[in-house]
């Protein structure tokens, strides 16, 4: 998540400077973008557990361990 957060910060800065002519993002815009990025990563991990990937599929245990302490309703 640290790398993804750093990438988001870099992306937001580039977007602010290039597209938005220096206009700062609101806290809500930043929060929405970060939550979306985290949800996209979680969805990717969930998809990678699919049995169509056979031996290359991630185990449910590995995914749960990776996200432990981050998910809201882990039970």
Q: How many residues does the chain have?
A: 75
The span from the CA of 23 to the CA of 29, in Å, is 12
Both tokens of 42, joined, read 């979680």
pLDDT (tens digit per residue) in 23-61 = 999 999 999 999 999 999 999 999 999 989 999 999 999
The span from the CA of 19 to the CA of 38, in Å, is 24
Angle between helices 27-47 and 2-18 (to 10 degrees): 130
Q: So what's the pLDDT on residue 22? A: 86
Q: So what's the pLDDT on residue 1? A: 84
Q: So what's the pLDDT on residue 75? A: 66
Q: So what's the pLDDT on residue 27? A: 96
């Amino acid at each position: 998540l640290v790398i993804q957060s750093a990438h988001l910060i870099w992306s937001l800065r580039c977007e602010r400077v290039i597209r938005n002519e220096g206009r700062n993002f609101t806290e809500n815009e930043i929060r929405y973008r970060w939550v979306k990025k985290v949800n996209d990563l979680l969805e990717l991990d969930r998809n990678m557990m699919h049995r169509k990937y056979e031996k290359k599929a991630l185990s449910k245990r590995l995914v749960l361990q990776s996200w432990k302490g981050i998910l809201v309703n882990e039970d």
